[in-house]
Amino acid sequence: QVQLVESGGGLVQPGGSLRLSCAASGSIFRIHHINWYRQAPGKERELVARILSCGSTNYVDSVKSRFTISRDNAKNTVYLQMNSLRPEDTAVYYCNAEIATMPTISYTFWGQGTQVTVSS
């Protein structure tokens, strides 16, 4: 069984920064692609950033040049560095990962989410 745990959320003023972490634990053979999603009240869940196993990254237009996704394979952890935060970034942020629990068996796992609130 694999578990993803997000941390690093909180209250920050506009223009501030936060770094979210998502640590994976359990029966992990290899972590493939990792995504960060967010969901604001009354809105659909949105894919914010993605990092592939090769290190390639993708971002939704609204966070380009402000957010950076990275991974530390040795720690089974992915990060989302968020700079120049805006009130519209307020949401619950979730990590999502495609993980092989055995050499030929992969599943998608979700974390429980961490709240990010950008407000003065």
pLDDT at 116: 98
Tell me the per-residue pLDDT of 74-102, one tens digit each, with 9 for 90 and over. 999 999 999 999 999 999 999 999 999 99
Tell me the per-residue pLDDT of 10-26, one tens digit each, with 9 for 90 and over. 999 999 999 999 999 99
- Return all residues near 48 (Cβ < 8 A) that are at least 6 apart: 35, 36, 37, 38, 59, 60, 63, 67, 80, 93
Residue type, position 91, single letter: A
pLDDT exceeds 90 at position 48: yes
8 Å CB contact between 70 and 115: no
